[in-house]
Structure formats: C-alpha cells, structure tokens
Structure 1
Amino acid sequence: MQNHIEGVAYVLGDNIDTDQIIPAQYLTYNPSIAAEYKMFGKYALSGVPEAAAGLPKGHVPFHPPTGDGFVSPYKIIIGGKNFGCGSSREHAPIALAAAGVVAVVAEFYARIFYRNSVNGGYLVPLEAKERLIDRICTGDKLVIDIAAGTLKNETSDETFSLLPLGEVAPILEAGGLFPYAKKVGMLAS
C-alpha cells in the first residue's frame, strides 16, 4: 500500500452497487488469467447509469474513447453513501483494480465490499468525514496522504479529513489477508 496516492478523480453518487461496478454478464471471466483479468478492467463501472455519474456537468465515461479501453485514467473513485452495496460479489474490487483504481473514498461502504477490498488487497477503501461528492468533480487532481489522513484536491486547493484505516492498515500494507497471515505467522510460508 502506498502512503501517498495521486490521481485523477472519478465521482459517483450514492448506493453504487456491485452490479453497477461489474455487471453479472462479465463474471464469466477468470481474474487469475491475465488476459481475462484485463476484461474486468474494461467493463468496470459499465453498469453505472448515467444519472449516478451525472453531477451538473453530465455523464463522463469511466473509459474515455481515446484510451486503451482496459485501464481508466481515473485512479481515485469518490463515492457517496453505501458504496459497493448489493451482492457479495468479490469481483467488484477486482474490476476497479484491473481498471487502474488505487483507492475509493466514500462516506461509508457496504460491509462486504469493504472487506473484499481489504482481504484481497485490491484497493484502499477510505472513508471521508464529509460528503465529498458535492465538493470534488470528475477530473480533479487529488493527493491522498494516508498517514496524515487527508485528501487534497489540487484543482480547488482544498484539503479534507479522512478517517484512519485502523486495524486494516497492516493487512493492506501486506497486500491482503493471506499475505498478512503469512507475514505474522498465522499461516505457513
């Protein structure tokens, strides 16, 4: 896990569910096969309705037409309430990671999405102390300082406080639950 995460923001709304993050028809791909893992990135957020990503500026595609179609230019997702709700689909954080997302900052998460993100070490799920989807726009340049617990919007020159990762930080630093268990001697190497 990086202590400083820099990237361009992609802003979503409330109640972004796992079927919006990776629609069920793409679950036939196997993320342990490199070529198929890329497909999770290609279809990440393809189920998000235009209104959920809308905001006043209108819909901005997660995969712009000028890109490679697999990796998005957006490295940080800003979400509202209940991010990752719906089914217990562990493929949701995999899809975001395959698309190049490093962190999600939301008001709060569906518990299963949060745990799947941490357990697999796929991405860093951070919680904001205030409603950031009203303060950050898609395309803003952001810097997250995990140790300081801050998110700086370099576009607007505003800094926001984040909740600490707490007990999940060592799991994320190790790269997920199994590497952490091996590191601390809970599993044989």
Structure 2
Amino acid sequence: MSLDEPGRAWVFGDDIDTDQITPSRFIVSTDPEELATHAFNDLRPEFSANVSEGEFLVAGENFGGGSSREHAPLSLIGAGVDGVVAQSFARIFFRNAINLGLPVMICPDADRIDDGDEISLDLDAGVVHNHETDEAYDAEPLPPFLQELVDEGGLKPYTKRKLGTAD
C-alpha cells in the first residue's frame, strides 16, 4: 500500500502516551470524529482545529504508551490522519492502530523529519519520503498479514470479509 500523496507532518517527541493523544477526560465516546476534536488537547491544542485529511504524525521513541484503550488511534482516524511514523511504538498502540486500519511505520530516521515537512509513505517497500529534503528513509514494512488488515480497514472488516458477512 502506498500513501504516495504528500501530506504535512505533525512532529511529536519521545514517550507520547495515549493520555496525551486523547486525554482520558474526553473518552466518554467511541465516535472517531468526536474523539478527534480532543486529540492532543493538552499537548498541542492547535492540532484538532488545524489537522487535515491526508496528513501524518511523526514521533520519536515509544509513541502510544500508556493505556490499552483504542480511543487514541480512533481519534487520529477521526482527525483524518493517514498514518503514523515513529522511531518506535508502544506495542499496544501499534496493535490497536493495525486492528483499526491506521497505518503505522517504524522508521529509525523519523527524527530527521521536521514539523510541517511534506511526506509520503510506501508501506509495501518500507520507505518514508520527505519531499522537503528529497530524502527517503528506510522503515520497517509491515508483514503481509498486518498489511492485509490495514488494507481492509482493520480487523473487523477483515474478519467480516473472511466470514462472508461483509456489508
């Protein structure tokens, strides 16, 4: 899968936990659009009002640590984020993102991307393209099965298709 249309990078640092992504006081809903209005409310208040469809999150080490709630990736999906690139992910966030169909890539050079850079992702090849610097960074491609889950829109649509119960 290729997210080859460049989009703005929203850059965050290390150890961004799920309560910073979606503060716990706002998780009274599971509606992605409602959750999106509170994404990064305390850490970067301008995010939810200014993020647009087709943009990306870029982070350092241990993105998405903390709780196992799916609200954090749901809020990013609701905000229109096309994918998340980080130097490393907390395992539970990584898995929740895949299960919900949100593309995630581990990229050791994510720290070379600046806030506002235009980037695109090639999930199959495991490459992050920085259109500002004309650089390409190696990333870990998703294994084929996980890629299939993302391509299907997550675990539920994938399972429904496999069972022949898709809408």
Same fold (TM over 0.5): yes
Give the partner amino acid of 2:63: F
Give the partner amino acid of 2:82: V
The 3 A distance-change label for structure 1 pair 5 and 104 is farther
Correspondence for 2:160: 182
Gaps of at least 5 residues in structure 2 are none
Q: Would you tell me which structure has more helix in proportion to its own residues?
A: 2
Correspondence for 1:53: none
Correspondence for 1:46: 41
The 3 A distance-change label for structure 1 pair 177 and 14 is same
Q: How does 1:98-177 map to 2 (within 5 A)?
A: 98-121=78-101, 123-128=102-107, 130-133=108-111, 135-166=112-143, 167-177=145-155
1:38: Cα distance to partner? Answer: 2.5
Matched, 1:62 2:40: no
| Residues 145-179 of structure 1: CA deviation (Å, up to 9, x unaligned) | 22222111111111111111103001111111121
1:5: Cα distance to partner? Answer: 4.7
Correspondence for 1:19: 19
Indicate conservation of the 8 Å contact 2:36/2:79, yes or no. Answer: yes
Matched, 1:83 2:68: no
2: CA distance between counterparts of 1:6 and 1:137?
A: 14
Correspondence for 2:73: 93
Indicate conservation of the 8 Å contact 2:15/2:62, yes or no. Answer: yes
| Residues 22-55 of structure 1: CA deviation (Å, up to 9, x unaligned) | 0011111341xxxxx423111111132x6xxxxx
Give the partner amino acid of 1:176: G
Indicate conservation of the 8 Å contact 1:5/1:102, yes or no. Answer: no
TM-score calculated relative to the size of structure 1: 0.79
TM-score calculated relative to the size of structure 2: 0.88
1:16: Cα distance to partner? Answer: 0.4
Gaps of at least 5 residues in structure 1 are 32-36, 51-59, 64-68
2: CA distance between counterparts of 1:86 and 1:119?
A: 17
